[in-house]
Amino acid sequence: MMSDFSGFFGFFNIFIILLFAIGFYCLIVTKNLIRVLIGLEVLTKAVTLLIILAGYVTGKTATAQTLVITLIVVEVVVMAVGAGLIISVFNKNNSLDVRNLRNLKG
């Protein structure tokens, strides 16, 4: 029975690490602001899954659910503000390239 759980958690650990790596790679490598926002979304989804898995393993699922709901609310606010900033940058520059942000002085 224990080997079933270790395989189950091993699969989710690999999946969480893969999601985290994809999100972090998207944040670091891309030059498009929308892709950066999507990378941040994927990164927070990996953290959400990690909190859920940690709550399940420790037996504190109620605490994990509370933290996940709070994280989802914060994530929605961050995504809304980020989308607003991206729209503002696009209206000012007519481009979503990160390298053009230096032109936004004052």
CATH number at residue 6: 1.10.287.3510
Does the structure show a pLDDT above 50 at 1? no
The burial of 81, by beta-carbon neighbours within 10 Å (0-12 exposed, 13-18 middle, 19 or more buried), is given as exposed
106 is a domain residue: no
Q: What is the pLDDT of residues 63-89, one digit of tens each?
A: 999 999 999 999 999 999 999 999 998
pLDDT of the residue at 9: 76
- Give dist(CA 64, CA 72) in Å, integer: 12
Strand partners, 97: 32
Tokens coding 103: 């032109």
**Per the structure, how many domains does the chain have?**
1
Contact 61, 55 (CB under 8 A): yes
